[in-house]
Amino acid sequence: MHNFENKTVIVTGGTKGVGFGIAEAFLSAGANVFICGRNAPASLPQGAGKEAIFIAADVRKEEQSQGLIDSAIEATGRLDILINNAGGSPPVAAADAPSKLTEAIIRLNLIAPMIFSQQAYHAMCKTANGGSIINIASVSGVRASPGTAAYGAAKAGLINVSRSFAQEWGIDNVRVNAIIAGLIKTEAAGEHYGGDAGIELIEGSLPMKRMATPADIANACLFLAADSSGYVSGAALEVYGAGEPPSFLKMAEEAYKLGQ
């Protein structure tokens, strides 16, 4: 069990999905948790008798991300952990992607967490123990990302940025790590993976026969943010259940069976 009593945590995109699960995990571990989004959620993450504090903010606007940090410090006197979770992309063919959409995707998935991390760094330097920044990246950043090329490029950049920031900020005891998340089953998974039937087929193809859950990503965040991981910085932790097997292996297996 991790103890984050009296620690202050910000989780971007914490109103739903993976971010909601991360917020619940830190609340259950005793932290004070602030979440943000453009719209207030119907319900707030809860844990250990505590509830997350929602502050409306668009992470693509640096004055609003700074405002979120200022509000957290005003309420608790400190900022210990930042989880850059907000992100995403609609599917779009690379040949047809409008330049404005490409720029918007990169701003949300790369530039926004870069700027938020810079702002958090300056706040964390003011505490004796520094702080921990965790960037939620994706397998799309380490393999081809057809249909979401800009998203994959942004996530690849986020992994590199995490390592670069870690080296620059290590002297101030501000640790920066990334999580390379695989396929995740959230409340919106059906929209992305073809409904229940599509999810069943995909999960059947994975080594562990299931997708990740928000709790899987949250547990990785708890590990990386814990004081006991004080020498873990610049890491890109793969949380994807052994990865996605190459599709040609399945096709070759099926072809072999047909040939028998």
Question: pLDDT tens digits for 103-142?
Answer: 999 999 999 999 999 999 999 998 889 999 999 999 999 9
pTM of structure: 0.95
Q: CA dist 59 to 56, 206, 231, 254, Å?
A: 10, 33, 29, 46
Question: pLDDT tens digits for 46-87?
Answer: 999 999 999 999 999 999 999 999 999 999 999 999 999 999
**Which tokens go with 233?**
């910085």
Is residue 260's pLDDT more than 80?
A: no
Task: Report helix, strand or coil for 37.
Answer: strand
Helix/strand/coil percent split, the chain, to 5: 50, 15, 35
Question: pLDDT tens digits for 176-191?
Answer: 999 999 999 998 888 8
- The rounded distance, in Å, linking the Cα atoms of 127 and 123 is 8
> What are the b/e assignments for 208-243, b being 16+ CB within 10 Å?
eeebbebebbbbbbbbbbbeebeebbbbbbbbbbee
Domains in the chain and their CATH numbers?
A: 8-259 (3.40.50.720)
Which of the residues are catalytic? 151
What DSSP string runs through 133-181? EEEEEEGGGTS--TT-HHHHHHHHHHHHHHHHHHHHHGGGTEEEEEEEE
Give residue 239's identity as a one-letter amino acid code: V
Enter the DSSP assignment of 231.
T
